[in-house]
């Protein structure tokens, strides 16, 4: 691969293959992108290409205004959503979108995922938000671009912090996750799917299950992410 974007394409390719290896996609559903802020571009999976056939050189490079910079294939149909998020949230370095079973089931139910347990609290202190479905005018218009607007506006309206809550469900659609890089965006997508599954089973066992109490939320989040975090080896 002879390209000045070789490293970016390889990062994007590996993250997309991880998405597949972790069982988060079926057929060609889902995509991951990786950004290069210095060059003002991101790489993303091509549209409709099976993971079995995917190669690093197939990744498509696009700028934040959706202009195709490099690549012979068409980029993912969700590219405009990725572009909008990169343009408006300059702290993110990778985005993952899936149609994973339990994440999408919650999205189709148009329900936030309640924080029931410490697995959830290890990653964020809030319920995982679910936006309403897009309005008809937004669907008929620039749909994928407007999906990005829906995400950013929802965080603003609800006073949520996208640096902490690195995931969201789009009502009747599915999840978008982001992080400092593409690999961690995939990590968040897998965590979201696991939490969605756990929450579903919790409500099957006990429909009146209570949210995790605040003291446990605080303890589990801060031991991994607080100023005096002690989880792990660093």
Which amino acids are annotated catalytic? 122, 231
Q: What are phi and psi of 46, to 5 degrees?
A: -70, 155
Distances (CA, A) of 40 to 37, 46, 212, 223: 5, 19, 41, 35
Distance CA 150, CA 107 (A): 14
Instruction: Say if CB 127 and CB 115 are below 8 A apart.
Output: yes
Helix (H, G, I), strand (E, B) or coil at 58: helix
Sign of the C-alpha dihedral computed for residues 133, 138, 140 and 141 taken in this order: negative
Nearest to 153 by CA among 170, 128, 172, 139: 170
């Amino acid at each position: 691969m002879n390209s000045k974007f070789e490293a970016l394409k390889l990062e994007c390719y590996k993250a997309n293959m991880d998405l597949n290896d972790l069982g988060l996609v079926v057929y060609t559903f889902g995509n991951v992108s990786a950004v290069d802020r210095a060059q003002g571009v991101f790489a993303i999976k091509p549209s409709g290409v099976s993971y079995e056939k995917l190669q690093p050189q197939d990744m498509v490079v696009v700028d934040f205004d959706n202009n195709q910079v490099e690549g012979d294939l068409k980029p993912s149909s969700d590219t405009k959503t990725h572009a909008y998020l990169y343009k408006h949230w300059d702290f993110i370095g990778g985005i993952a979108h899936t149609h994973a079973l339990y994440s999408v089931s919650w999205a189709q139910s148009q329900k936030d995922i309640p924080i029931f347990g410490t697995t959830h609290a290890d990653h964020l202190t809030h319920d995982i938000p679910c936006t309403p479905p897009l309005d008809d005018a937004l669907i008929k218009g620039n749909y994928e671009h407007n999906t990005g607007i829906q995400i950013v506006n929802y965080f603003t309206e609800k006073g949520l912090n996208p640096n902490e809550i690195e995931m969201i469900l789009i009502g009747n659609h599915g999840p978008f996750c982001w992080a400092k890089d593409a690999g961690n965006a995939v990590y968040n997508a897998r965590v979201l799917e696991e939490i969605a599954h756990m929450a579903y089973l919790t409500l099957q066992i006990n429909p009146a299950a209570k949210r995790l109490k605040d003291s446990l939320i605080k303890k589990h989040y801060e031991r991994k992410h607080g100023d005096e975090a002690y989880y792990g080896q660093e």
